Structure 1
Amino acid sequence: MDREQLISKWLNNELNNQELEAFKKLEDYEDLIQLNKALLSFKSEEYNTAEALDQVLNTINSSKKTTTPWTKYMVRVAAVLAICFSLYYYTTTLDTTYTTDIAEKTFIELPDQSVVNLNAKSTLVFNKSDWKNEREVNLSGEAFFKVSKGSSFHVKTKTGTITVYGTQFNVKQREQFFEVICYEGLVGVTYNSQETKLKPGDSFLILNGKFIAKEKEKNLEPSWLNNESTFKSLPYKQVITEFERQYGVNIKLLNIDENQLFSGSFTHNNLDIALKSITVPLHITYSKTNNTITLKGE
């Protein structure tokens, strides 16, 4: 393996034991290590990685035409600098991603001490390096936010964008379901290029592409933070999909109208009690086989 391939694999942490030993035997091994350490503290606002790659290739090609040791050393340094600058720019522009699985929740602290509680089967993405310039996160799923004061804060989903003027709110974006509830301060929800301002207790709900008016929210925080899912006049299929998310089970419906409205709640801590909570009010029976639960209507 030639020198450039060894350096490239080293920068990507892809060297095996044999290749690592070969890398350590390079005459400029110590220079490479020192340059890499020094560049960890370097910060570049703009860097053209394509241009850097061209520069590296040019310096490698031109090195074949040089003869003096001093020139060869400078060419090696230039090539390493270009590679390390490119590596630094690439790593500092990577997004930070948090993902929860079925029946899992997690707590996230953002760079400005804002905090996020991420519900089951959800994903939150943001960029740490650009946070001071733009406080923005991308959300798929459900999360509760407590936002620190500062510049504008945006939560982007594939359905709509939430602009924060206050501090506490919940966002839930699932298939054919988009809901924002403001608990404190003021929140702006942009949907179809129109912004709606929400004050404490106000909700914004889009269900199957239609706006749904809701009663004032009286709770101080979403119930799922306390391991309970609550529904107010929502289609039964929304209850079922959330149940599957929290318990990691598959539910089959027999002789049941999945569009009938349901009001109630279920706990996340006890499967049998939760099943009774979503079946008894509708006179539904259930049976369990391994990881599959069958609900049967009358």
Structure 2
Amino acid sequence: MLKHEELIVKYLDKSCTREEEEELLAWLEVSEENKELFSSLSSLWLMSKAELEDDLETELALARFRERIGTEKSSIREVQKVKLPLLYKILQVAAIFLILFNVVYFLYKDDKENEIRIINRLLTADSKGKFILPDSTVVWLNAHSVLEYPEHFAEDKREVHLKGEAYFEVKKDSAAPFWVNADDIKVRVLGTSFLVQNYDKNDYVETILTEGAVNITSSHFKEMAIVPNERVLYLKKGDSLKCEIVNTNYYTSWINEKLVFDNLSLANIIINLNKWYGVDIECSKDIAESTNMSFTVCRESLDEILEAMEEIAPIRYKHEGYKVYITKKGGK
């Protein structure tokens, strides 16, 4: 197996070190082919992991997976429509061997009577995508995100599953509420615009409403209504909620083609950059609120933007993986 394929496997099973993760991210930036390989192997891993039921099977599947991609990584196969429940048996034994060179891949799951075609959309680092769901709902998917939804929604319910971050403009349908499943919480809407962030690396799940009305619910708290311009954080540790009123433009600007800052505080710039680049920028409150800047972000890398910020303001930065630390020049 090639070194970078091994890094992808370690990244997917969460066993890579910070240095290996940084090496993998750098390798992904080299070419689109690298990103396509990562997407295909990620899709395969997510598909096979969803079908394996216990730790022993997962370990055996990982071993077979590593062996397979070392010998036939360039093969392309299609997932055929198979009668259930036979499909589950086939997946447990054979799906781990499928290499799908497409960000969109298909599974068939049993709803006891019918076959359901499940679509998964996966975006890698520095990728953003806009697409339309079967009900005409518009979705913007941010980097490092996976959205799962059926090819056709049920008549009385529309349901999707999210890992990562997405902004939704939901098509109104009072007869079929729209549900976003984000692990510990669920967001229920009829027709509105809102954002949900659910990254494994974060210790919270974020919901921000731009217009309309949504309710969030969980086994840990009663159903709660959110008003426009409200940001609600579900804190995974402690099962608590934190609510605040925000300028939603700062949190949803990543869906646009560019960011324009006109004498904006560093505190608000950081919110935008976090969403745009999928990072976590930390800066002391006194520096963030007392420093204002004006500049535009188009297709520049994060380091290019941070270096430019150093030129126009008395700050310095240190970039470590997904974390960026901003301090005052001359300070510790």
Could you say which TM-score interval applies, normalised by the shorter chain? 0.5 to 0.7
CA distance in 2, matches of 1:201, 1:144: 14
- Alignment correspondent of 2:147: 124
Q: 1:112 to 1:199 in 2, by over 3 A?
A: same
The structure with more radius of gyration? 1
Amino acid at match of 1:96: I
Q: 1:295 to 1:197 in 2, by over 3 A?
A: closer
Pairwise CA RMSD:
4.7
Structure 2 residue 85 is matched with structure 1 residue 49: yes
Q: 1:295 to 1:198 in 2, by over 3 A?
A: closer
- Alignment correspondent of 1:80: none
SS in 2 for 1:166: coil
**Percent pairwise identity:** 23
- Alignment correspondent of 2:234: 206
- Alignment correspondent of 2:22: none
Q: CA deviation at 1:131?
A: 3.7
SS in 1 for 2:305: helix
Per-residue CA shift, 1:21-65, capped at 9, x if unaligned?
Answer: xxxxxxxxxxxxxxxxxxx9xxxxxx76359x9xxxxxxxxxxxx
Give structure 2 stretches of 5+ with no counterpart: 1-80, 90-108
Structure 2 residue 224 is matched with structure 1 residue 188: no
Structure 2 residue 196 is matched with structure 1 residue 162: no
CA distance in 2, matches of 1:200, 1:296: 31
CA distance in 1, matches of 2:241, 2:311: 30
Q: 1:199 to 1:104 in 2, by over 3 A?
A: same
CA distance in 1, matches of 2:272, 2:235: 13
CA distance in 1, matches of 2:127, 2:188: 27
CA distance in 2, matches of 1:286, 1:213: 30
- Alignment correspondent of 2:254: 224
Contact kept in structure 2, 1:124 and 1:139, CA below 8 Å: yes
- Alignment correspondent of 1:197: 225
Contact kept in structure 1, 2:283 and 2:325, CA below 8 Å: no
Q: CA deviation at 1:293?
A: 10
- Alignment correspondent of 1:285: 316
Q: 1:197 to 1:219 in 2, by over 3 A?
A: same
Structure 2 residue 305 is matched with structure 1 residue 274: yes
CA distance in 1, matches of 2:217, 2:229: 18
Amino acid at match of 1:187: V
- Alignment correspondent of 2:15: none
Q: CA deviation at 1:104?
A: 0.5
Q: CA deviation at 1:242?
A: 5.6
Give structure 1 stretches of 5+ with no counterpart: 1-39, 41-46, 54-85
* Structure-1-length-normalised TM-score: 0.54
Amino acid at match of 2:128: K
Contact kept in structure 1, 2:165 and 2:197, CA below 8 Å: yes
CA distance in 1, matches of 2:278, 2:304: 16
Structure 2 residue 123 is matched with structure 1 residue 103: no
Q: CA deviation at 1:120?
A: 1.1
Per-residue CA shift, 1:255-284, capped at 9, x if unaligned?
Answer: xxx584556898362235521477679954
Amino acid at match of 2:144: K
Q: CA deviation at 1:197?
A: 0.7
Structure 2 residue 278 is matched with structure 1 residue 245: yes
Q: Which moved more, 1:170-179 or 1:223-232?
A: 223-232
CA distance in 2, matches of 1:169, 1:140: 16
- Alignment correspondent of 2:157: 134
SS in 1 for 2:155: coil
Within the candidate set 136, 141, 144, 2:167 is matched to 144
Q: CA deviation at 1:217?
A: 3.0
Q: CA deviation at 1:203?
A: 1.8
Q: CA deviation at 1:173?
A: 1.5
Q: CA deviation at 1:126?
A: 0.6
Amino acid at match of 2:223: E
